[in-house]
């Protein structure tokens, strides 16, 4: 036991001496939290639109002003011809063109009908839909305002909305759990697989294996420091999101931390498994970084809800541990629910951990023989 502790201490020192790696270990989650918090958002703001006003009257002017002043848009150009549309789109700054037909105002006053077209750049479907929807809503509002005197308020449905869990529609309710999920699995799997493969590659693993330490102790010794570092990372992310975004943990913090430990453990065992199948560090890095990064970001429900994916992805994503952890962490942090609601996901993570351990032990034994 004493020998083992000495070994763990040595591994710790090894990590702490490399301040650059340590800095990045904590820098990555911090940077991600800040980027998601301050730099990127899914919503649109200042989307470029161009106006092709074939009428040039008071009403089109008013409507244009109303659209531009909404804050969602920024006027890039006023166009003169249909032929210009393709040109502005190809430059990339303009996301939509709004076209007022000739005699728009006159027609609206005389015939009560005028038409307007929105042409959006479909190469960015999300922006295109949002721009179109927002513009339509503004135009409809405008029509309503014109119609109000005529309607005499007789028929009006007034829907109200309550944004549950997240009344101010803050995006960090989504990304803080996502960042924790992504960072933990990547860093844990990466770190463990790489350190163990490194020993293999440089032949130092043989030295360790002939030492009085048992193989399981060697692996544990390598993994324990990362377990602790990752746990500190969780605390750091939680503290950061609380201090910077005021995001509290609604449910039990003890349960949350326990679940995080389970997830860290799962990720570490995944790392060990990767190390048993990799011949050298490049391979380990390739598998753990390239193999895990994109699927975790895209398929775990971190940014993109699984419900919106085609049905098969519901099954494909079942083999991804992050998928379950995201549900767990969102439930505890944001909905404030207890174990009752997440026991299934927790159980799946436990089973996965055991599965990875079993598989690694088998692979490891085969290698030793």
Partner 1 sequence: MRTILYLIRKEFIQIFRNKFISKAIFAVPIVQMLILVPAITFEIKNVKLGIIDRDMTSESRGLISKLEGSTFFKVSFSTFSESEANSLLHRNKCSVILQIPSGFGRDIGNANPAKLLATIDAINASTAPLSWAYLNGIIRDYNMDLITENISTNPLVPLPQIQITNRYWYNEMLNYKYYMLPGILVILVTAIGFLLAGLNMVREKEIGTIEQINVTPVRKYHFIIAKMVPFLLIGLIDLALGLVIGKLAFNIPFEGSILLMFFCASLFLIAVLGLALFISTFSGTQQQYMFIAFFCMIIFILMSGIFTPYESMPVWAQDFNLINPVAYLMRINRMVMLKGSTIHDISRELYSLAVIAICFSALAVRRYRKTA
Binding residues among 224-283 for partner 1 as defined by CB under 8 A: 278-279, 281-283
Min CB(363)–partner 1 separation in Å:
16
Nearer residue to partner 1 within complex by CB, 103 or 124:
124
Nearer residue to partner 1 within complex by CB, 159 or 212:
159
Min CB(172)–partner 1 separation in Å:
8
Cα 221 to Cα 211: distance, rounded to the nearest angstrom: 13
In the DSSP assignment, the letter for residue 99 is: E
The DSSP bridge partners found for residue 199 are none
Min CB(301)–partner 1 separation in Å:
9
Min CB(246)–partner 1 separation in Å:
15
Contact set for partner 1, span 188-217 (CB under 8 A) = 190, 194-195, 198
Nearer residue to partner 1 within complex by CB, 118 or 224:
118
Element (H, E) at 362: helix 339-368
> Residue 101: is it exposed, middle or buried by C-beta count within 10 angstroms (0-12/13-18/19+)?
middle
Which one of 4, 12, 231, 341 is in contact with partner 1 (CB under 8 A)?
341
Q: Which residues of 221-258 are buried (b: 16+ CB within 10 A; e: fewer)?
A: bbbbbbbebbeebbebbbebbeeebebebebeeebbbe
Query: Contact, 136 vs 111, CB < 8 A?
Result: no
Tell me the per-residue interface mask from 40 to 59 with partner 1, x by CB under 8 A, - otherwise.
xxxxxxxxx-----------
Which one of 210, 254, 310, 366 is in contact with partner 1 (CB under 8 A)?
310
Enumerate long-range contacts of 120-125, CB under 8 Å, 24 or more apart. Answer: 120/95, 120/96, 121/89, 121/94, 121/95, 121/96, 124/95
Nearer residue to partner 1 within complex by CB, 194 or 219:
194
Region from 210-218, 257-265, 335-343, 346-354 binding partner 1, contact rule CB under 8 A = 335-343
Nearer residue to partner 1 within complex by CB, 167 or 246:
167
Nearer residue to partner 1 within complex by CB, 129 or 211:
129
Region from 211-219, 226-234, 239-247, 302-310 binding partner 1, contact rule CB under 8 A = 302-310
Cα 225 to Cα 7: distance, rounded to the nearest angstrom: 11
Residues in the chain: 369
Contact set for partner 1, span 125-154 (CB under 8 A) = 125-130, 132-133, 136-137, 139-140, 142-143, 146-147, 150-154
Query: Contact, 111 vs 85, CB < 8 A?
Result: no
Cα 184 to Cα 29: distance, rounded to the nearest angstrom: 9
Contact set for partner 1, span 99-118 (CB under 8 A) = 108-109, 112-118
Contact set for partner 1, span 16-45 (CB under 8 A) = 18, 20-21, 24-25, 27-28, 31-32, 35-36, 38-45
The DSSP bridge partners found for residue 87 are none
Specify the residue for token string 């970001």: 297
Nearer residue to partner 1 within complex by CB, 7 or 36:
36
């Amino acid at each position: 036991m004493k020998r083992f502790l000495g070994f763990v201490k040595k591994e710790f020192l090894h990590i702490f001496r490399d301040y650059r790696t340590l800095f990045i270990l904590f820098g990555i989650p911090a940077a991600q939290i800040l980027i998601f918090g301050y730099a990127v958002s899914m919503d649109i703001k200042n989307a470029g639109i161009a106006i092709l006003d074939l009428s040039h009257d008071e009403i089109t002017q008013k409507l244009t002003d109303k659209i531009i002043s909404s804050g969602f848009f920024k006027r890039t150009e006023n166009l003169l011809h249909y032929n210009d549309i393709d040109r502005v789109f190809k430059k990339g700054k303009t996301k939509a063109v709004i076209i007022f037909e000739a005699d728009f105002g006159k027609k609206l006053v005389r015939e009560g009908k005028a038409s307007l077209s929105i042409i959006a750049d479909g190469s960015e479907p999300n922006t295109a839909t949002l721009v179109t929807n927002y513009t339509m809503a503004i135009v409809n509002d405008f029509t309503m305002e014109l119609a109000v005197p005529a309607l005499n308020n007789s028929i009006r449905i007034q829907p109200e909305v309550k944004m549950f869990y997240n009344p101010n529609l803050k995006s960090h309710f989504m990304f803080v759990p996502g960042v924790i999920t992504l960072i933990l699995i990547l860093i844990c799997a990466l770190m463990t697989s790489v350190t163990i493969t490194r020993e293999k590659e440089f032949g130092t693993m043989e030295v360790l294996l002939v030492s009085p330490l048992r193989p399981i102790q060697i692996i544990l010794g390598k993994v324990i420091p990362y377990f602790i570092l990752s746990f500190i990372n969780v605390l750091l992310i939680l503290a950061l999101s609380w201090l910077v975004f005021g995001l509290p943990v609604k449910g039990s913090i003890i349960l949350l931390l326990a679940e995080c430990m389970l997830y860290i453990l799962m990720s570490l065992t995944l790392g060990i498994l990767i190390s048993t199948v990799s011949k050298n560090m490049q391979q380990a890095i390739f598998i753990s970084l390239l193999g895990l990064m994109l699927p975790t970001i895209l398929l775990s429900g971190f940014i993109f809800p699984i419900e919106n994916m085609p049905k098969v992805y519901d099954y494909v994503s079942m083999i991804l541990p992050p998928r379950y952890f995201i549900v767990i962490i969102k439930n505890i942090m944001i909905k404030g629910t207890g174990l009752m609601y997440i026991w299934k996901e927790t159980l799946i993570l436990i089973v996965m951990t055991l599965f990875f351990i079993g598989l690694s032990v088998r692979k490891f034994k085969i290698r030793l023989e």
